[in-house]
Amino acid sequence: MINEFVPVFAISQNRSFLIPSLLAEGWLVTTLTATDMDIIDSNVTYYLEETGNYTFFRIGEVNGELRLNASLSAGNYRVCVFARDGGGINSDPFCISIEVFTIPQPDLTFEGSTVTIKETLAVNSSIFNVTCSLGMNSSHPELLLSADTVRQQFQVQRLFGVGIYTVVLMDDIDQSLTQDYSLTITCINSAYQDKFNVTTSENITVNIIVEDVPEVWIAFSSSSYSTNITENSGIGTIINLPVAVMKYTRLQDNASFENGTLLNSSSVNLTVVGLEPYLEFDGASWTAAVVRNIDRESFTSPFLFLNVSAEMANTTGDSAVIRISILDVNDNSPLISELVFVGKATTRTLAMEEILTVNASDADDGDNALIHFSLDNTTYFAINQSSGVIYANSSPLPAGEFVLTVTATDSGIPPLSSESKIAISVFEDLVANFDNDTYIFSISEERPPGSLVGNVAIATTAHVIQEPVYSIVPGKGSEVFHIGLLSGELVTLTELNRETNSYFNISISMVIGSSNATAKVLVTVLDVNDNAPEFEESYYHFTLQCREQQDVTGVEYRVSASDRDEGRNADVVYSLQPLDNVTINNTTGQITPLACLAEGEHTFTVTATDGGNVAFLVMPLL
């Protein structure tokens, strides 16, 4: 073979690229592809032409990947690549222009380096503004705060206008805990990150000094307190609330001391939220009285929550939560999910085999909601007292209908219970078995697709727990028929042609539960008269030599026709026109002249007739 073709680069490949100057060594600029039409030596390798700026680039000899050899400075670069086939023939150079631009450096501006705030500054207050811009570029740069602890205390929010941000206080600050903060702010130009994975940034550090503010404040000794009440205790029942001790602290001299209980602190204003409509609070005795019946089951949560707020002049105040647990009493009977449970079993159901499950619930709590089940009759069936699963207690089970009573009882003192009915039907369990090992059907070939061939279904009753399912076993001829999944009716799917297939031998499967059986089906295709007789020759030419008045006894000629049908449809009868001095045997097709014919060409028509279709033959006799 001759290496007659040169490698050719794809015309659609890009010849110019625009990339930033910060790309690292190894960055993929593009992948070049060249092809060679030779049958042999068609493998292509790639090389850089050692001209221009080729030293800044490298190319994959096999894959054609053009990559940077080093980070490029801003400017214009040109590199040429040629492809070489296995026979050593080079392509024309494929030259690429690369323009390298500089990513704009963000401009981060803040006047000064220190900000002073008071420790009483409200949360969500703005502390100072910074400007982060990209010069003439109108897009928004990204502004970040350093250190997770600082981010929790402060947050950067963008204001209206390009590149203007404010730093906001996000949590209370205490000068005694933190003297000041050092906040590093980074402005990032990420406009080219998605495409080139490069960014530029600028940092500044701002010191935040926290000024101390003299103050006195009060606080509960705990943020939450707990007590309880029993449901349905009655109107007027008194709940003794926990004593909430107040603690006073003066931050200006870092002193701390306790000052008794709330009820002894006349200078404290106390507010309780969450009492209505069930409780009434008495601040003098630090108790709450029941003014409306408390039913635990009517609450979405078995608790009452009281939010207590304490305020004192010239202080910040404090709040706490008192949780009152509502204790349960056994005042609800188990609720069974159904009035009547219905189940099915068969005479072959095994002992301990699950039949159905009784479900019940109890609105009470703890032991008061712990349910166990029992049956009134365990001759044939039993129940798991914990799960409510009803199972066969013996095997085999007698066929018939069984009605039982199930009782659900809770574990309260005294226990409460409820009842429901269970109806179980026990059916005879059928086993797959055809009535015949072989079924013989016949169908006329003229019947259209969808015609009924026969039925192989077995007789069933209304009390069968699982109906038989029928299917055709895949095999030769199975694609011609379809069987009803439940009916067992065998019908045709395609047109039939006896002359192509005169019979079919297929297998039918029956499945009932885990049992199955197979039967043979023989389908005979009955013939219809759909073919005309056909002569062996389309034209017969015979020669008769004789003299006038010569005896032609013994001279015989024969025509022959056949029919592809069968039976009477294939019986052929011959006839001849005209019959002047010539006769034909209507069964054998034998033609016999009765006398010497006049000199010349004589034309006769032979007709072959079957059960209904006719074929004609024009036959000249000389």
Rounded to the nearest 5°, which phi and psi values hold at 194? Answer: -65, -40
pLDDT at residue 57, as a whole number: 92
Instruction: Specify the pLDDT at position 161.
Output: 64
| pLDDT 10s digits, 215-261 | 556 667 678 888 889 999 889 898 887 765 555 544 444 444 444 34
Q: Does CATH number 2.60.40.60 belong to domain 335-427?
A: yes
Tell me the mean pLDDT in the region 121-143.
Answer: 73
pLDDT score, position 487: 92
Residue 451 has pLDDT above 80, yes or no: yes
Q: Can you tell me the distance from the alpha carbon of 506 to that of 521, in angstroms, rounded to the nearest whole number?
A: 5
Q: Is the pLDDT of residue 527 over 80?
A: yes
For the stretch 35-81, pLDDT in tens is 888 877 678 999 998 887 888 999 999 999 999 998 888 899 999 99
Q: What is the mean pLDDT of the chain?
A: 83
Q: What is the pLDDT of residue 202?
A: 81
pLDDT score at 368: 94
- pTM, two decimal places: 0.39
The pLDDT of 425-442, averaged and rounded, is: 89
Which of these ranges, 151-160, 170-179, 315-324, 398-407, has the smallest mean pLDDT? 170-179
Return residue ranges of the chain for CATH 2.60.40.60.
8-101, 107-211, 216-327, 335-427, 438-526, 534-621
Topology adopted by domain 8-101: Immunoglobulin-like (2.60.40)
pLDDT at position 256: 42
Q: Which residues contact 358 (CB under 8 A, 6 or more apart)?
A: 336, 337, 338, 341, 373, 383, 388, 389, 390, 406, 408, 420, 422
pLDDT at 539: 86
Which of the given ranges, 59-63, 165-169, 241-245, 407-411, has the highest pLDDT on average?
Answer: 407-411
Other CB atoms closer than 10 Å to residue 149's CB: what's the count?
8
What is the spatial distance between Cα 286 and Cα 246, in angstroms, rounded to a whole number? 14
Alpha helices by DSSP H, listed for 399-514, are: none
Q: Three-state SS for 203?
A: strand
Residue linked to tokens 């209908």: 401
Options 3.20.20.80, 3.30.450.40, 3.20.20.70, 2.60.40.60; which CATH number does 216-327 get?
2.60.40.60
Phi first, then psi: what are they for 56, rounded to 5°? -85, 0
534-621 is a CATH 3.90.1170.50 domain: no
pLDDT reported for residue 430 = 79
pLDDT average, residue stretch 321-334: 91
Least trusted range by pLDDT, from 194-198, 468-472, 523-527, 586-590: 194-198
- Is the per-residue pLDDT at 575 higher than 80? yes
Higher-pLDDT residue of 12, 360: 360
Quick one: fold of 438-526? Immunoglobulin-like (2.60.40)
User: 107-211 belongs to which CATH class?
Assistant: mainly beta
